[in-house]
Amino acid sequence: MADAAPTFWEELTSPLNLVLIAIIVYIIYKIIKSNFESEKSYPPPPPPLPKLRKDLTVAELKKYDGTQSDGRVLLAVNSVIFDVTKGKRFYGPGGPYAAFAGKDATRGLATGEVAASENDEYDPCSDLTADEIASAKEWEEQFREKYDIVGRLLKPGETPNKYSDDESEEKKAQ
């Protein structure tokens, strides 16, 4: 009986099986731990900002780059100003499109250039090609579907509209 088969206990305590058991126990521990962590209560998100309805000049728009105390982020496309605050991780400080925050993003979106423009004057974008104009229009439509319209980007000498609470956003922004 010298070549007897190993017993269950000997098989279980072999070095390879002990390592495998340790790995399985560790994985189970991580799964259980992650379930408890996901059940933790997180602080509620900050209350939404009140709707903003007004027309702005390029200089006024510049203030809404996400660095103010309220964190509001606005940008304009085709002279329509959008409140993109809920997309702050994209358009706010440190985001991949932060260069558009507080600016007229029409040229950058139309040409695909995500670079900070220091132009503080109204840009009519009259030199854009037909394809670039079409691209800017597509971007505008996407923003209309996703974000609230604030108002119009004013050309030099234009007077702002007076908005009332019951007035349609679409009517005034067009």
For 45-54, write each residue's pLDDT tens digit. 667 889 999 9
Residue with tokens 């925050």: 101
At 53-66, the pLDDT tens digits run 999 999 999 999 99
Are 141 and 68 in the same domain? yes
Q: Are 54 and 163 in contact (CB under 8 A)?
A: yes
- Is 33 a member of any domain? yes
Same-domain status, 13 and 67: no
Q: How buried is residue 55: exposed, middle or buried, by Cβ count under 10 Å (0-12/13-18/19+)?
A: buried
pLDDT tens for each residue of 92-119: 999 999 999 999 999 999 998 877 666 6
Share of the chain above pLDDT 90, in %: 56
CATH number at residue 166: 3.10.120.10
- The per-residue pLDDT for 173 is 46
- pLDDT of 67 strictly over 60: yes
2 found inside a domain? no
Q: Which helix (H) or strand (E) holds 82?
A: strand 80-83
Does 164 fall in a domain? yes
User: In this structure, are 119 and 148 located in the same domain?
Assistant: yes
Question: Does 44 fall in a domain?
Answer: no
Buried b / exposed e along 110-136 (16+ C-beta atoms within 10 A): bbeeeeeeeeeebbebeebeeebeebb
Residue 157 lies in a domain: yes
Q: Specify whether 74 is located in the same domain as 24.
A: no
Residues 76, 161, single domain; the answer is yes
pLDDT at 37 over 70: no
Q: How many structural domains comprise the chain?
A: 2
Residue 122, token pair as written in the block: 């109204």
Are 120 and 56 in contact, with CB atoms under 8 Å apart?
Answer: no
Helix (H) or strand (E) holding 143: helix 130-146
User: pTM (2 decimals)?
Assistant: 0.69
Query: Same domain, yes or no, for 31 and 107?
Result: no
Q: Kindly state whether residues 26 and 75 are assigned to the same domain.
A: no
Residue 170 pLDDT > 50, yes or no? no
Residue 117: its pLDDT value, please? 65
Which residue's structure tokens are 């037909």? 130
| 22 and 69 housed in the same domain | no
